[in-house]
Every structure is written in C-alpha cells, then in structure tokens.
Structure 1
C-alpha cells in the first residue's frame, strides 16, 4: 500500500511515506515553519519513491494533542489532500506516535508533552507482542502534579513534558524509572506505522470526519492569570 503521513503537532515537522514494505521519512525540528516545510517534504518523498499523489491509498495525520496551530495545520493539510484525491484519512494520536519513540522493551511508557500554561498532555501505553501499542489509560491534559498514573513496576518516559516537569513527574511514577528522554517528539514515521494498522482494520474515515483533538479549549492565560503565575 501507499500511505502518506503528516505530523506537525509539536516543534518537530515530519512527513513519512509507506510505499509497499518500505517507509521513508523527513523530519526537522523547526518551530513555526511547519506550513513552509510539510508539503515540500511530502513532494520530495513521493518523488523519491517514484509515485504521484494519485497512487496514495490514504492520508494519515497526527491529530493531536499538541500545539493548537500545529494540530490544525496537520489536519487541514490531510483533509485538503484527501478531498482532492478522494482518499480516506487515518487520524492517529500524537501521544501514541510519541510513545513509539520509547525503547522497544517491556516497561510501561508515559508519553508527555508540555502543554504550556503549567499543564501537560499525557497518556500511558505498553507495547504488545506484535510491536503495537496498548493504551493503559486515557489521553488527558492536566497539571503535572495532578497526573494519576496506572500501576507499573518499570517506566520509560518520552516527551517535552519531562524537560519542564521532570521532578514533579518522577514523583508521580508508580514504579522505577528506567529511562527518560525529553528530546523526543511525535514523528510521522510512527504515525504511519500506527495508521497502517488502523487502515487495515477498517478504521479510516472520510476527510470531513478527520478532526483535531485539542483536549482543552483555552489557549492562553488572561493578564490576571499571567500576573498570578
């Protein structure tokens, strides 16, 4: 199959192409340049694979949570391409894609993104026998000190939330911290990996049904709140 995946929910802008059994990808840490980079990256991958957009079977996208502007951009690009090509969209959790940045071993995985405004986006997973993910809880946005985690003996932590709130999050873990990497971001190659499974399971949707997931509606502190921060 041929599937193009976009991930623009954080500082990292990435695009990946599944072409048969091969996955090729481009990624750049480029805050505020996603609109400039995403489509040229996609065109470069299609050219490298020697196929045109009409050869695609589906478009996948990291649907958030993450930066509001980035999430909106990624979903809008996926919708636009899907409508133009009359192809389905496979929305994938950006937190799930981030979780696949963790080492391939047995600990539970906490995927945590700095949500600004003193909060984090978080979800917990475990790898299954086939290399996929099993969700251990729900995606949520909350204060790091209020984060409730499932029971697990060992943990891997990935994501920018660790850089900002390491000590607070360490205290929330229910077992031993094996490894933490704050310099990991959701990547399109993992969006593609998860999307192929979703597509084959019949869970692709129409472009109109591919919606962003923000987890919260408020995007900025008021002046009064900034003064209290």
Structure 2
C-alpha cells in the first residue's frame, strides 16, 4: 500500500512515504514556513518511495492537538491528496503516537507538546491506555495526573522543556525523559497507522476535523475585545 504521512504539529516539518521502492522520511526545520515547503517535501518522499502523490492509497494527518496553523495545514494538504488520489484518510493522534513506543512502561507516561505561554498539550498513559483526554495545562496542574511514588516517563517533541518545569512542580526522583518527537514523527505515523490502533476512512469530510483543545489566538483576541465592549 502506498502511504503518505504528514506531520506539521511542531516547527519541524516531517513527511514520510512508504511504497514499492521502500520507506523514506524527510524532516525540515522550516519554523513557520511549512506552507512554502510542504508540496516540495511531499513530492520528494513519494518519488523516492516509488509512487506519485496521485497514486497515494492512504494519507496520515495529525488529528491534534498541536499548533492551530500546523493542524490546518496538514488537513488541507491531506484533503488535496485525498481529492487527487481518492485515497483513504488516517487521522493520527500525536500524543498517543508519541507514547505508543512506551506502552509496556511500568508507570505513567506523560506525552507532551509545547502549547506556548508556559502551557502544554498533555496526555497521560499507563500500559498503553490513555488516562485522560488531551488537556491544555501548565506543569503544576499536570502534576495532578500522576502519583509521585510511581515511575514517570516524559516524551514528545518538547519533553525536555516540560520536564524542567514539571520538576519544580513535583520534585520526584524517578523521572525518565525521552524526547522522541521531532525525529521522524511522520515515519512514526506510518508505523502507528499499521499498528491497528486507528481506523481509516474514505475521506476527510467523514471526520469532524482536528482536535484543537485551545482556541486560536484570533478567537481569543476576538473574545477579549467582545468582553471589553460588553463590559463583562
């Protein structure tokens, strides 16, 4: 099966393809310029994998949470691929994908993405099972998700940054930090899609869209202005 995966959740643009010529992954530190690089990146990986974008049979996109702009870009690119190829779509939950390699960990796995403003998108797992829905929390509130007596593993693209703030909120000794995000996460999407933990559908319109968890800056600014004018 010709598979294309797109990850734009973080400042690192990651795309991967698996086809008749093998599996190819590409990461580009493009910052806020994902939109300018994504088409070229997709063409590059599918070509090396032995198929064209129109021959894609499954496209994997992040279901969220993550960067508002990044999620919209990934879904837009996925929709374009789906319309051109009539392929199936596989939304991948990034936090669960980051935690998946540690499903046998005996303790709590905290999967995190930096949500800015000293807050994090976070989800806790124990033995591969999610304990909570993706949340938008600061490190102090995230400490309530775990027992300080248990072994804690922190993973995700911003694991090290979160661990620094988390250690101040919950000074425990048995903490392992493995920042697996940002290293071929699109390739991990391909592996996760093949794990049987997610369902494929025929088209993106069959989904409600990505999980944003937090309002966009524009929505928050609009809400703030409306409160000022309403006096609330």
Deviation at 1:115, TM superposition (A): 0.5
Q: State the partner residue of 2:153.
A: 156
Is residue 120 of structure 1 aligned with residue 120 of structure 2? yes
> Contact 1:155/1:176 (CA < 8 Å) preserved in 2?
no
Distance in structure 2 (CA, Å) of the matches to 1:57 and 1:66: 25
CA distance 1:175–1:205, change in 2 (3 Å): farther
**TM-score, normalised by the number of residues in structure 1:** 0.79
Deviations 1:167-218 (A, max 9, x none): 442366697534214583371011111122348x644352213412110114
Is residue 209 of structure 1 aligned with residue 206 of structure 2? yes
Distance in structure 2 (CA, Å) of the matches to 1:117 and 1:38: 27
CA distance 1:23–1:49, change in 2 (3 Å): closer
> Contact 1:126/1:134 (CA < 8 Å) preserved in 2?
yes
> Contact 1:89/1:205 (CA < 8 Å) preserved in 2?
yes
Q: State the partner residue of 2:28.
A: 28
Deviation at 1:88, TM superposition (A): 1.9
Q: State the partner residue of 1:170.
A: 167
Distance in structure 2 (CA, Å) of the matches to 1:174 and 1:58: 44
Q: State the partner residue of 1:143.
A: 138
Distance in structure 2 (CA, Å) of the matches to 1:214 and 1:205: 22
Distance in structure 1 (CA, Å) of the matches to 2:175 and 2:163: 14
Q: State the partner residue of 1:130.
A: none
Structure 1 unmatched ranges of 5 or more = 128-132
Distance in structure 2 (CA, Å) of the matches to 1:175 and 1:103: 22
Query: Please, what is the CA RMSD of the aligned residues?
Result: 3.1
Number of aligned residue pairs: give it.
Answer: 217
**TM-score, normalised by the number of residues in structure 2:** 0.78
Deviation at 1:89, TM superposition (A): 1.0
CA distance 1:173–1:126, change in 2 (3 Å): farther
Distance in structure 1 (CA, Å) of the matches to 2:166 and 2:67: 21
Is residue 97 of structure 1 aligned with residue 97 of structure 2? yes
Q: State the partner residue of 1:78.
A: 78
